[in-house]
Chain A
Amino acid sequence: MTGRLYIPRDAAALALGADAVAAAFAGADVEIVRTGSRGLFWLEPMIEVATPAGRIAYGPVTAADVPGLLAAGMLTGGAHALRLGRPEEIPFLARQTRLAFARCGIVDPLSIEDYRAHGGLKGLARARELGPAATIEEVTQSGLRGRGGAGFPTGIKWKTTADAPGHRKYIVCNADEGDSGTYADRMLMEGDPFGLIEGMAIAGLAIGASKGYVYTRSEYPHAIATFDAALKIARREGLLGDGFDIEQRVGAGAYVCGEETSLLESLEGKRGQVRAKPPLPAHHGLFGMPTAINNLISLASVPSILADGAAAYKDIGYGRSRGTMPIQLAGNLKYPGLFEAGFGLTLGEIVNDIGGGTATGRPIRAVQVGGPLGAYFPPSLFDTPFDYEAFTALNGLIGHGGVVVFDDTVDMAHQARFALEFCSIESCGKCTPCRIGSVRGVEVIDKIMAGTNVDANLALLTDLCHTMKFGSLCALGGFVTFPVMSALIHFAEDFRRPVTQAAA
């Protein structure tokens, strides 16, 4: 073998032809390692070759480029138009602080040796030394908050679960990553599944759980397959099985099952309908037992907190938002990708400096942060720091860290209508404001868009949003008002467009 080549097997890289690229190297004298993605999607498939000077990246590579790359001596890092140099020096990566994603795109996701060689299992070893109470204290001190968007302190959730009486306890990982614009869970499960397994093993130890469930959405078949394979390896290696095991369960296309109580109902084999809280899952969770339910990224952040100490994690961040967040740049951007960094970057820095503005080259008009329940921000709010509190103060949310950019061709009345239509499709039906309100909301926006009694219907829509926000049982009906009201407030002109003949 003359060398070693790293080609991603991440679903997005596959969608852009990574398998064909790998096949094109079949005749070359080179070992191919399939990795996750580094998350620089405008450069995918981005392949890397091991050289004495470190890895050298090339991208975006198509199968047709391969003969030329080989002729240019790419297996020894030779010059070529697609040569990107050392990946760590690409500005998009060099500016990041990768903790949860430290190994993603670098290691063979199903090699436990690779995982160990890149710092894996140190956190679990330290947790075992510390014991449950000190492990929880470490996580509390780190300031880690729920990365699903609610931002509840993870350590406090764990302590509540640990203290709750129960002969059986569960740790549940929410990998039902349904928000449009988010793909961090998918990337991590495909690129570094042992990171999640280690995080859950630490959580299980901390709260005294005997069983862990990972609830993965069915839309992620590659993540499901990689994670199941990783679980088998972890059992074989003795990482699981001795008093604590993890099982993966697959969702069935219901967005609302990303809501924690609905997820628990679904895991129990029921309709994914929201439960009223209290009781909290920490007291009365899966099958009525004390359950810590955490977002995948929260759990994947834990190993580095234990390995490097709470202080190192807490030193990163902004305000009460400590540590790093994998921001997922999506939609109409020149440089879309995963950007893990400390909290506090402004929205403008994120979409313009890092994301490079729109892919279409047109001006940015709106940025939706935090998925389909997140607010739409106009450029006038681009100085908002990426932080739980700052976004809440503006009637928005950071959610799971998805940032979706729209150019100036977007019709914001249409986007507001879509938010409510989506809610009407995905409502679990348990509470009236969400179930009925979303349907009525679509009807009212249709009247506004048709130019019927616009003022009265805008007032009605605002009133309806108020009812849904404060009357809904969970975030679906409550927060769907964020995209609607932000569109109404920041893009009011779109709701008063002259009705064209075609639309009438």
Chain B
Amino acid sequence: MAEDELWNRQRAADIIAAEAGREGAALPILHALQAEFGFVPRDAVPMIAAALNITRAEMHGIVTFYHDFREHPPGRHVLRLCRAEACQSMGAEALAAHTCARLGVDWHGTTPDGAVTLEPVFCLGLCAIGPAGMMDGRPLGRLDATRVDAELAAAT
């Protein structure tokens, strides 16, 4: 779905107002906005800045510092694959290459049909059962090309 169709100013204002009173509210606000919209809409940034009494530049700096916050909406499903050392030792790099090739995207890319976004992650704490991943928040262990293909086939 297009970004402007997802955007709802009133909803964003309500979310910001609900969190703004907390100590160090920036991250809770950003997480809540992303939970609602799937990304942090650009139009929300000056609204957060105003609520927290900081400049737009500062707020932009905060949003862009953290890897989690997306600038654009993700696909209908998000597959995260671990790229860290423990998973590397079990073949994560070959698995990532296979996945990128199958989806025809690079890291952070979304398939043209909008079905899947592929995101890198550096450690899911599943280091004893690598290569590990997460499909829409569901943990996956001992992944191989067959299992990834099955996950992707089910993600429409």
Contacts and interface: CB of A to CB of B under 8 A. Distances in A.
A11 B85 contact: no
A268 B27 CA distance: 9
Given A330-B127, A330-B130, A415 B85 contact: yes
A180 B141 contact: no
Interface stretch (B4-12, B71-79, B109-117, B118-126): B118-126
B89 interface: yes
Nearest to A335: B128
A404 B24 CA distance: 36
A337 B97 CA distance: 28
A269 B61 CA distance: 11
Interface of B: 23-28, 30-31, 52, 61-62, 65-69, 82, 84-90, 121-130, 132, 137-142
A252 B27 contact: yes
B128 A266 contact: no
Interface residues of A, number: 62
A177 B125 contact: yes
B27 A14 contact: no
A331 B85 contact: yes
A499 B88 CA distance: 23
A330 B86 contact: yes
A310 B152 CA distance: 53
Contact of B89 (A185, A255, A410, A422): A410
Interface string A370-397: 0010000000000000000000000000
Nearest to B24: A269
Given A222-B139, A252-B30, A186 B125 contact: yes
A372 B85 contact: yes
Contacts of B87: 180, 331
A187 B127 CA distance: 12
Interface of A: 11-12, 14-16, 41-42, 44, 177-183, 185-187, 218-223, 249-255, 266-273, 287, 328-333, 336-337, 359, 368, 372, 402, 404-407, 410, 415, 418, 422, 426, 428
B26 A270 contact: yes
Given A41-B128, A180-B127, A270-B26, A368 B69 contact: no
A376 B9 CA distance: 51
B121 A219 contact: yes
A407 B91 CA distance: 11
A368 B85 contact: yes
B69 A422 contact: no
A372 B61 CA distance: 26
Given A250-B27, A269-B62, 13 more contacts: A11-B126, A12-B126, A180-B127, A182-B127, A185-B125, A220-B125, A221-B137, A253-B121, A271-B65, A372-B84, A404-B127, A406-B89, A422-B84
A222 to B, nearest CB: 7
Contacts of A12: 125-126, 128-129, 139, 141
B19 to A, nearest CB: 10
B68 to A, nearest CB: 4
A360 B118 CA distance: 28
Contact of B65 (A223, A272, A328): A272
